[in-house]
Amino acid sequence: MNSNRPPYRAALTVSIGFMVLFSGGCSKSTNPVVEATPTYQTDATSQAPQVKMPELVAPKLAEVQDAVRRVFKDCAVIDTSTKPNFFIGDFNGDSSQDLAVVLRPVPGKLSDLNEEYPAWLLRDPLAVDRSTKTALSVAEDDHLLAIIHGYGDNNWRDTQATQTFLLKNVVGANITIQTGAEFLKSHSGRKLPRPQGDLIEQKLRGTDGYLYYARANYSWFDPKSYKQATDIGMVHGR
């Protein structure tokens, strides 16, 4: 083949080459860019097993008697003259179920209830001045309210549940349990204490009021005479 191509054929070859390159470049630039479908990470918390809160089981008389004996041995028993005479609730706001039970002293055992260092805290929520340490004692005809705080997974049924308040002068009539939210809702718009947990509602000395826990002690709320400064904190110790 003759290598001496005419000038017009060489120019034509070069033009065709440029056209091929140009058309190829244009075809690439006009193709739409397709993004890859995003992959989403599965939220680990959505697959985590739901924590099921333990169901509250109504207390049986035998279980309540066991709890009373665990704390008070044989110096106090359930007061059968009060109906109902035991209740459950979270009375100190620690998310553990507690037991409130009405007791009476066992005759001949007052010395055990009034020992110098008992395994419970004896308190009078109706005392006028609770900032001073006044010696309290249990009388033979007292109606007492013991609140046994829950411990561990078994709450007040646990064999180590012994932290107990023994309260004088706060056993009334028509006793019911009310949650903190219910209490605040039913008394909105007025000065109120700041209860921790559930409250014990009852009629006491002709007044409808509430026994509640706040600042490490139990107090009495009388809607007619409440003053916020009356909440006095007491540290629970052994």
Query: Per-residue pLDDT averaged across 135-143, rounded?
Result: 94
pLDDT at 44 over 50: no
β-bridge partners, 221? 210
Is 209 in contact with 223 (CB distance < 8 Å)?
yes
Alpha carbons within 13 angstroms on the beta-carbon side of residue 228 total 5
Cα–Cα distances in angstroms (integers) from residue 90 to residues 96, 97, 140, 168, 199, in the given order: 6, 5, 29, 20, 9
pLDDT in tens, 156-188: 999 999 999 999 999 999 999 999 999 999 988
| Residue closest to 204 by CA, chosen among 190, 226, 218, 220 | 220
Cα–Cα distances in angstroms (integers) from residue 215 to residues 48, 93, 135, 233, in the given order: 37, 11, 21, 5
Tokens of 233: 């904190």
Question: Across the chain, what does the average pLDDT equal?
Answer: 81
Is 131 in contact with 42 (CB distance < 8 Å)?
no
The pTM of the full predicted model, rounded to 2 decimals, is 0.72
By DSSP bridging, strand 98-105 and strand 86-89 are antiparallel
Rounded CA-CA distance 147/97 in Å is: 11
